[in-house]
Amino acid sequence: MKFTKMHGCGNDYIYVDGSKENIPKNRKPEVVRQLSDRHFGIGGDGVIFINPSKEADFEMEMYNMDGSRAEMCGNGIRCVGKYVYDKGLTDKTQISVISCGKIKYLTLFTENEKVLAVKVNMGSPLLKAEEIPVVAGSGEVIGERIEVDDKEYQMTCVSMGNPHAVIFMDEIAQLPLEKIGPLFENHVRFPKRTNTEFVKVLDRENIQMRVWERGTGETLACGTGACAAVAACILNGLTQEQVTVKLLGGSLQIQWDRKENLIYMTGPAVTVFEGETDLTISGL
Ligand SMILES: N[C@H](CCC[C@H](N)C(=O)O)C(=O)O
């Protein structure tokens, strides 16, 4: 099976042309776990299959490292844009990509025939408890108390197609994410689990963020998480609409255009290497 290893701000996935590989859907979670293993496989935060689509230019089928399917992936969709343009699957610099029934629109920024960065219209944030989903009454979930490991936190919840709990903190560098991350991820109040962003607001235009991702653990960046974090900042009156989100693996430019109620994410996409693997090697 041929694959391309790519990353967006260090959030790295294994990209596979779904039109050329026909792995049965029911085997994909196990294949994803094996390929994502950083010792026995290729290594990555998960696997993204790029498929033909009738509803959009391409389909993104995204799996976390644990084999779970996710509705949306911000760093991933930017790399999908780079993949299809650099491989000549499209010559357009404005393309659409569908994931779990939702279409996103991408603008590809190129240099010497290669995509360097991508701007994505990530759509409108979903803010009602039942849309996240989170158990927290009905209506918006802003500054809601949640108890984790006998400590009380305040969360603001946002869905970008996938669930996010955003926690504002004065310091995030020393946070024991390995300990509290899984407790948030699997908290009983999140019927579909959750991604959790720990955010330090630097000023009205800049924030710093660490993230514990559903199905993967701490990653160097999370595109949907950066969008959710900026939405939460604005809902709490902490920043302006255009924010630079500083993540462990790099920075993303996020804007929530409140008039249009659309969130735009702009950031890099990088190809690391191409490869080929024989699924039988790892005993699949
Ligand atoms: N772990 C996420 C999917 C990947 C999101 C992230 N890598 C991004 O760039 O948005 C979830 O299960 O919802």
Q: Is 50 exceeded by the pLDDT of residue 275?
A: yes
Q: How many other CB atoms sit within 10 Å of the CB of residue 105?
A: 17
| 256 φ/ψ sector (left φ>0, alpha ψ -120 to 50, else beta) | beta
Q: Is 121 part of any known ligand binding site?
A: no
152-191 pLDDT, tens per residue?
Answer: 999 999 999 999 999 999 999 999 999 999 999 999 999 9
Q: Can you give the pTM of this predicted structure?
A: 0.97
Question: Would you state the pLDDT for residue 173?
Answer: 97
How much is the average pLDDT of 35-41?
A: 96
The tokens for 34 are 């094996």
Question: Would you state the pLDDT for residue 95?
Answer: 98
Please indicate whether residue 73 is annotated as part of the active site.
yes
**Which has the closest alpha carbon to 84: 51, 43, 133, 61?**
51
Give 7 Cα–ligand 1 centroid separation in angstroms: 13
Question: Would you state the pLDDT for residue 113?
Answer: 94
65-80 pLDDT, tens per residue?
Answer: 999 999 999 999 999 9
Question: Would you state the pLDDT for residue 76?
Answer: 98
Query: Is ipTM strictly over 0.95?
Result: yes
**Biggest distance spanned by C-alpha atoms of the chain:** 54
Q: Is 80 exceeded by the pLDDT of residue 142?
A: yes
- Which position among 9, 79, 157, 222 bears the catalytic label? 222
The amino acid sitting at 83 is Y
User: CA 98, 269, 117, 204: dihedral to nearest 10 degrees?
Assistant: 90
Q: How many other CB atoms sit within 10 Å of the CB of residue 235?
A: 18
Angle at the Cα of 127 (from 76 to 139), degrees rounded to 5?
Answer: 160
Q: Residue 249: CB within 6 Å of ligand 1?
A: no
pLDDT class for 252, splitting at 50, 70, 90? very high
3-state secondary structure 27-93: HHHHHHHHHHCCCCCCCCCEEEEEECCCCCCEEEEEEECCCCEECCCHHHHHHHHHHHHHCCCCCCC
pLDDT class for 281, splitting at 50, 70, 90? very low
Please check whether residue 263 is in contact with residue 255, taking contact to mean a CB–CB distance below 8 angstroms. yes
Distance CA 215, CA 183 (A): 13
82-113 pLDDT, tens per residue?
Answer: 999 999 999 999 999 999 999 999 999 999 99
CB-count burial class (<10 Å; 0-12, 13-18, 19+) for 176 = exposed
Q: Is 90 exceeded by the pLDDT of residue 137?
A: no
% the chain with pLDDT above 90: 95
Which one of 47, 126, 166, 224 would you pick to mutate in the ligand 1 pocket, going by the greatest count of ligand atoms within 8 A of its CB? 224
**Which has the closest alpha carbon to 160: 223, 244, 246?**
223
| 89 φ/ψ sector (left φ>0, alpha ψ -120 to 50, else beta) | alpha
Distance (Å) of CA 226 to CA 1, 24, 45, 56, 217? 32, 33, 17, 25, 16
What are the chain's domains?
2-120+269-276 (3.10.310.10), 129-260 (3.10.310.10)
How much is the average pLDDT of 112-140?
A: 97
How much is the average pLDDT of 37-63?
A: 97
The tokens for 33 are 């776990």
